[in-house]
Amino acid sequence: MAADLGKIYMAPSGAQLIVTKGGPGNLSDGDVALLRQDSGESFPDGTAAGSESLQLGKRYKSADDAVEVLINKPGNCDLRYDGAPMELKEAKPLPSSD
Protein backbone atom coordinates (compact mmCIF):
# COMPACT_ATOMS: atom_id res chain seq x y z
CA MET A 1 0.00 0.00 0.00
CA ALA A 2 1.48 3.37 -1.03
CA ALA A 3 2.19 6.13 1.49
CA ASP A 4 -0.78 8.34 0.59
CA LEU A 5 -0.56 12.08 1.31
CA GLY A 6 -2.81 13.22 4.16
CA LYS A 7 -3.70 9.70 5.33
CA ILE A 8 -3.24 8.47 8.90
CA TYR A 9 -1.41 5.18 9.45
CA MET A 10 -1.33 3.00 12.58
CA ALA A 11 1.47 0.84 14.01
CA PRO A 12 0.89 -2.31 16.10
CA SER A 13 1.80 -0.36 19.29
CA GLY A 14 -0.99 2.16 18.69
CA ALA A 15 1.35 4.86 17.38
CA GLN A 16 -0.21 6.96 14.62
CA LEU A 17 1.33 9.14 11.94
CA ILE A 18 0.08 11.30 9.12
CA VAL A 19 1.83 11.41 5.75
CA THR A 20 2.88 15.00 4.93
CA LYS A 21 4.75 14.08 1.73
CA GLY A 22 3.53 10.96 -0.05
CA GLY A 23 5.25 8.40 -2.22
CA PRO A 24 4.72 5.07 -3.97
CA GLY A 25 6.52 2.91 -1.38
CA ASN A 26 5.27 1.14 1.73
CA LEU A 27 5.43 2.24 5.37
CA SER A 28 6.17 -0.44 7.94
CA ASP A 29 7.09 -1.19 11.54
CA GLY A 30 10.06 -3.43 10.83
CA ASP A 31 8.57 -6.17 8.65
CA VAL A 32 4.93 -5.42 9.58
CA ALA A 33 3.10 -3.11 7.17
CA LEU A 34 1.37 -0.13 8.80
CA LEU A 35 -2.41 0.02 8.36
CA ARG A 36 -4.39 3.01 7.20
CA GLN A 37 -6.71 4.21 9.94
CA ASP A 38 -9.69 4.37 7.57
CA SER A 39 -9.16 0.81 6.26
CA GLY A 40 -11.16 -0.86 9.04
CA GLU A 41 -8.42 -3.49 9.40
CA SER A 42 -6.62 -4.41 12.60
CA PHE A 43 -3.37 -6.16 13.45
CA PRO A 44 -3.52 -9.87 14.36
CA ASP A 45 -3.22 -10.62 18.08
CA GLY A 46 0.39 -10.88 19.17
CA THR A 47 1.79 -8.64 16.44
CA ALA A 48 5.06 -7.30 17.85
CA ALA A 49 5.81 -3.58 17.82
CA GLY A 50 9.22 -2.08 17.13
CA SER A 51 11.47 -0.88 19.93
CA GLU A 52 12.13 2.71 18.82
CA SER A 53 10.03 5.31 20.64
CA LEU A 54 8.24 7.79 18.36
CA GLN A 55 7.47 11.11 20.03
CA LEU A 56 4.44 13.31 19.45
CA GLY A 57 5.01 16.12 16.95
CA LYS A 58 8.29 14.78 15.52
CA ARG A 59 8.77 14.48 11.77
CA TYR A 60 10.53 11.62 10.03
CA LYS A 61 11.75 11.40 6.44
CA SER A 62 12.85 8.59 4.18
CA ALA A 63 16.54 8.35 3.25
CA ASP A 64 15.76 9.54 -0.31
CA ASP A 65 13.50 12.41 0.93
CA ALA A 66 10.59 10.93 -1.03
CA VAL A 67 8.29 10.60 2.01
CA GLU A 68 7.77 12.56 5.22
CA VAL A 69 5.49 11.77 8.15
CA LEU A 70 4.37 13.58 11.31
CA ILE A 71 3.76 11.62 14.52
CA ASN A 72 0.31 12.46 15.91
CA LYS A 73 0.11 9.70 18.55
CA PRO A 74 3.28 8.46 20.27
CA GLY A 75 4.27 4.81 20.62
CA ASN A 76 6.94 2.28 19.72
CA CYS A 77 7.66 1.65 16.06
CA ASP A 78 10.68 0.68 13.96
CA LEU A 79 9.54 3.09 11.24
CA ARG A 80 10.61 2.12 7.71
CA TYR A 81 9.84 3.17 4.14
CA ASP A 82 10.34 0.41 1.56
CA GLY A 83 12.41 -1.51 4.12
CA ALA A 84 14.88 1.33 4.83
CA PRO A 85 14.82 3.06 8.25
CA MET A 86 13.31 6.54 8.32
CA GLU A 87 15.34 9.35 9.90
CA LEU A 88 14.28 12.04 12.37
CA LYS A 89 13.95 15.29 10.42
CA GLU A 90 15.90 18.11 12.02
CA ALA A 91 14.39 21.58 12.34
CA LYS A 92 15.72 24.20 9.95
CA PRO A 93 17.92 26.75 11.68
CA LEU A 94 16.43 30.23 11.85
CA PRO A 95 18.45 33.15 10.49
CA SER A 96 20.17 35.24 13.11
CA SER A 97 18.61 38.55 14.06
CA ASP A 98 21.93 40.40 14.31
Interior CA angle at 39 toward 34 and 43, to 5°?
45
pLDDT in tens, 11-62: 999 999 999 999 999 999 999 999 999 988 889 888 888 889 999 999 999 9
Q: CB of 29 within 8 A of CB of 78?
A: yes
Q: CB of 60 within 8 A of CB of 84?
A: no
Q: How many other C-beta atoms lie within 10 A of the C-beta of residue 28?
A: 21
pLDDT of the residue at 1: 65
59-96 in b/e burial notation, b at 16+ Cβ within 10 A?
A: bbbbeeeebbbbbebbbbbbbbbbeeebeeeeeeeeee
Domain residue ranges in the chain: 8-83
pTM for the complete prediction? 0.87
Going by pLDDT thresholds of 50, 70 and 90, the confidence category of residue 80 is: very high
